[in-house]
């Protein structure tokens, strides 16, 4: 489903679901989306955020598969995002004006961000959304250019799920191991909340 931030009725409904943030929604980029999907607990993780979760049309096209260990063999599994979109667990937005398109070009050309990250940041900035990514360059750009926006990583989403749903440490670590099937170096020691991860 598409979220229309310019529709007053939509804003009234969604603002009431905010949790611990001044932002109206969370934009999730491709790398974080793939990680969340890899846990096979995406419904629970998104539900615990208690705010609209946005992906862009580019991210939707980029995030096609995730890695899964099946019978000792790593295989590509389809993301199957339609279920999440149809059930309002994810909403899709794209760039819909010239100013946003100019900002997108600046991020891709000047800061060398990939298209999905750049589009996600532009949409986050335009609508005052928080942004979730694991990409160090994207996080650096967010800190330097958009300090008014909250920057999160997959670890933040996992920690929130752990605290909100009260899942066990064993289940949390199992989900992290599933992410590591496709991303062996997750989480990076330089990632925010890495010290929390080390306590698990």
DSSP 94: -
Helices in 39-168 by DSSP H: which ranges?
42-49, 57-62, 82-86, 98-109, 115-127, 136-145, 154-165
| Domain containing residue 149: CATH number | 3.40.50.1010
Domain presence at residue 2: no
**Would you say residue 1 lies in a domain?**
no
Whole-model pTM: value is 0.87
pLDDT tens for residues 39-74? 999 999 999 888 899 999 999 999 999 999 999 999
Mean pLDDT of 140-157: 92
Q: What's the CA dihedral at 47, 34, 82, 107 to 10 degrees?
A: 100
Is 73 within the bounds of a domain? yes
Q: Are 119 and 56 in contact (CB under 8 A)?
A: yes
| Mean pLDDT of the residues in the chain | 88
Number of domains within the chain: 1
**pLDDT range class, residue 20, cuts 50, 70, 90:** very low
Question: 103 is in which domain, residue-wise?
Answer: 8-198
65 falls within a domain: yes
**pLDDT (0 to 100) of residue 164:** 85
Give dist(CA 25, CA 129) in Å, integer: 5
pLDDT at 21: 54
């Amino acid at each position: 489903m598409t979220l229309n931030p310019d529709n007053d009725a939509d804003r009234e409904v969604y603002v009431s679901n905010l949790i611990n943030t001044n932002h109206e929604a969370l934009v999730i980029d491709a790398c974080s989306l793939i990680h969340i999907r890899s846990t096979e607990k995406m419904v629970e993780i998104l539900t615990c955020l208690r705010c609209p979760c946005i992906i862009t049309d580019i991210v939707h096209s980029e995030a096609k598969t995730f890695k899964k260990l099946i019978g000792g063999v790593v295989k590509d599994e389809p993301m199957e995002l339609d279920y999440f979109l149809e059930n309002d667990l994810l909403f899709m937005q794209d760039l819909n004006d010239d100013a946003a398109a100019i900002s997108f070009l600046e991020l891709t050309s000047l800061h060398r961000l990939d298209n999905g990250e750049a589009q996600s940041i532009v949409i986050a900035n335009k609508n005052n959304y928080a942004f979730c990514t694991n990409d160090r360059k994207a996080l650096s750009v967010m800190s330097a250019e958009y300090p008014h926006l909250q920057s999160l990583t997959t670890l933040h989403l996992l920690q929130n799920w752990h605290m909100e749903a009260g899942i066990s440490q064993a289940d949390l670590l199992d989900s992290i191991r599933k992410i590591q099937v496709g991303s062996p170096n997750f989480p990076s020691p330089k990632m925010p909340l890495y010290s929390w991860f080390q306590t698990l």
